[in-house]
């Protein structure tokens, strides 16, 4: 992402199978993660904290339809009532162990993280 001049700030590299990115407001994060067993890459808007359900409901009611149009019909809004977080997620089937496909996988992460940031940041500011 740094090589391609992304506007998102990349944190320190780690051994984890996810990376979080600030979206400028507490209780909201962007995340890129790899699900090894499912052979899937995910880009998420992660909502956490005491008011995550209320914030999720506000966000969903204000921009669900537009999110499908702008981010794709594969987007899933998950209000997690049994946990302390909710999320909006889009996924891509890919085997992260396939080094030949890493460039495509990194490009998918970059494009979707930037789309999520551009779409959700102004919507979150309204809440």
- State whether CATH 1.10.3470 applies to domain 18-125: no
The rounded distance, in Å, linking the Cα atoms of 14 and 32 is 13
Residue 81 has a pLDDT of: 86
Residue 13 has a pLDDT of: 67
Q: For 97-116, write each residue's pLDDT tens digit.
A: 999 999 999 999 999 999 99
Q: For 3-53, write each residue's pLDDT tens digit.
A: 778 888 777 767 788 888 889 899 999 999 999 999 999 999 999 999 999
Angle at which helix 52-71 crosses helix 102-125, to 10 degrees, equals: 120
CA-based angle 105:8:52, to the nearest 5?
95
């Amino acid at each position: 992402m740094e090589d391609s001049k992304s506007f998102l700030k990349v944190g320190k590299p780690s051994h984890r199978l996810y990376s979080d990115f600030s979206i400028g407001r507490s209780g909201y994060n962007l995340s890129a993660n790899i699900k090894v067993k499912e052979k899937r890459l995910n880009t998420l808007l992660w909502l956490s904290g005491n008011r995550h359900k209320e914030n999720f409901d506000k966000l969903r009611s204000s921009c669900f339809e537009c999110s499908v149009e702008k981010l794709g019909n594969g987007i899933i809004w998950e209000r997690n009532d049994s946990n302390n977080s909710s999320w909006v997620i889009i996924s891509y089937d890919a085997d992260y162990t396939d080094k030949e496909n890493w460039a495509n996988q990194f490009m998918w992460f970059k494009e979707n993280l930037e789309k999520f940031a551009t779409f959700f940041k102004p919507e979150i500011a309204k809440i």
